Amino acid sequence: MALEQLDAVDGIITKLNHEIYDLLGDYEFSPYLELSSTGDAMGVEFLGFCLWSSECDERAEVGADLEPLEPFLRRRIGAILPHLAQLQALAG
């Protein structure tokens, strides 16, 4: 894995974390999305849910390339949010 790839993914994660923080307002900042790397592979988690891994990349092919990571992560986050709302409803 190239350092440029790691930097690019880190930039996306930072951007999305700031967008979430801005939406939530007064809440204390916490990294909602986290990037982890073993040196050979990297992964992105959202509140503990694995969204993406370089070892098991589920992005769609777009021509000869893969779908850009940022819209893929946004879609995966969007798929998780209804489940979080269900958990909140159960909590009362």
pLDDT tens digits for range 26-80 = 666 678 899 999 988 999 999 889 999 999 999 999 999 999 999 999 999 999 9
What pLDDT sits at residue 54?
94
Q: Is 40 helix (H, G, I), strand (E, B) or coil?
A: coil
- Name the residue ranges covered by the structural domains of the chain: 3-91
pTM confidence score: 0.82
**Can you say whether the dihedral through the CA atoms of 62, 13, 44, 26 is positive or negative?**
negative
d(CA 54, CA 62): 17
**Which whole number is the average pLDDT over 17-33?**
80
